[in-house]
Amino acid sequence: MAVDEQAVYKRPYFFELFTLVNLAIIVALTLPRGLQVLPTLKDSMRTSWLPFGGEVLLGIGIRLAVAARRGEMSSYLRRIRSAGWIVDTLRLLFFTIVMIHTYGWIKLTVPILHPRLFDPELWNIDQRMLGGYSPTVFLLTVFRPILSLFDWSYANIFFASIVIAFSYFLSAPERKLRVGFADGNTLMWILGAWLYLALPSVGPAYRFPEVWFEYTRFLPITQHFQLMLMRNYQAVIRIAQGGNEPISIIYGVAAFPSLHVAFQTYTFLWMRKQWRYGQIVFGIFLFFILLGSMVTGWHYLIDGIAGLALAVLCYWASHRWAFRSTADR
């Protein structure tokens, strides 16, 4: 029997439980080192409620405009005014922020918990896949005339994709669609963070900077952010050695896998059966992010391949769970 989606769902969702378990693990790992995982959660809440809440409102506004044109406004309004939809929205917002906080701290503490770097091995894997020639060097040579386009588009596309994806899915009227997307998204980012820790790497631009010396003038935006992240990376190490200085949990440094590639892939897969134009947009985003991640020096090719595989796995698991039957959870 189908569950009324307008009713308040009382049991915990997967994305809630998985986030809390992993938050507890990273707290346990970092507490002996004096790192402030839990105390800084309130700062994450304070700075993130407004942008994520704004994305929900943006999505609602767009859906209302579309519904009005189709004569379906009253149906959509009835759904989003229900106690079940409102409570779910608050839960989704709260645990999305906690998930990002958890992910950020796992990534941030990689140089402390596992300082050994695998960048030479990842570079060598890339070369073997291209018959002994580096795919990064190849792409830098091919795209030299348009490197400035990748410099501008890489960060901007990623931030735009976050806004589009969260606006679309958090404002959806269907519980199983919203929760299903959140389940797989949470699984993907947190598993990706633990993969950072399992196979630490800082990325080719940091480990092999000489490759990018002649391209510096084409990549000012990228290199500005790379400098900011490296300063934060070094500050984390100094804190672990007894120092005391401000750090940002969103400026962790890690390359394997590429979760920027993973997010575009994951959202593209969800969009396939939901919104055709969204599928096209995220297909284009995926193309630019995959290539851009290498030419800007953030990632190796193997990072992108691993991100693709992780996204497919998390999509398959979350979609199968969300739509395992015609009954809503």
Q: How many domains does the chain have?
A: 1
Whether residue 98 lies inside any domain: the answer is yes
Q: Which of 294, 287, 258 is nearest to 139 (CA)?
A: 294
Q: What SS3 string covers 103-168?
A: HHHHHHCHHHHCCCCCHHHHHHHHHHHCCCCCHHHHHHHHCHHHHHHHHHHHHHHHHHHHHHHHHH
Is 2 domain-assigned? no
Let me know if residue 328 belongs to a domain. no
CB contact set of 100 (below 8 Å; sequence gap of 6+): 44, 48, 189, 250
At residue 4, the pLDDT reads 55
Residue 4 located in a structural domain: no
The answer as to whether 107 is a domain residue is: yes
- Residue 328 is predicted with a pLDDT of 45
Burial class (CB in 10 A: 0-12, 13-18, 19+), 261: buried
Helix (H, G, I), strand (E, B) or coil at 288: helix
Q: Is residue 176 within 8 Å of residue 322, measured between CB atoms?
A: yes
Q: Is 6 helix (H, G, I), strand (E, B) or coil?
A: coil
Pair 197, 290: CB distance under 8 Å: no
User: What pLDDT is recorded for position 300?
Assistant: 97
Residue at 329 is within a domain: no
Is the preceding peptide bond at 257 cis, omega within 30 degrees of 0?
yes
Secondary structure of residue 92 in the 3-state scheme = helix
Domain containing residue 303: 14-322
What is the DSSP code (8-state) at residue 325? S
Question: Is 245 within 8 Å of 239 (Cβ atoms)?
Answer: yes
Q: Is residue 42 one of the residues assigned to a domain?
A: yes
Q: Determine the residue type at 299.
A: H
pLDDT of residue 190: 98
- pLDDT (0 to 100) of residue 243: 75
**For residue 195, what are the contacts with CB-CB under 8 A and spacing of at least 6?**
256, 257, 306, 310
- What are the per-10-residue average pLDDT scores of the chain (329 residues)? 61 96 95 85 92 95 93 91 95 97 96 94 95 93 94 93 96 94 98 97 95 93 94 89 82 95 97 92 96 96 98 95 59
81 assigned to some structural domain: yes
**pLDDT confidence of residue 1:** 34
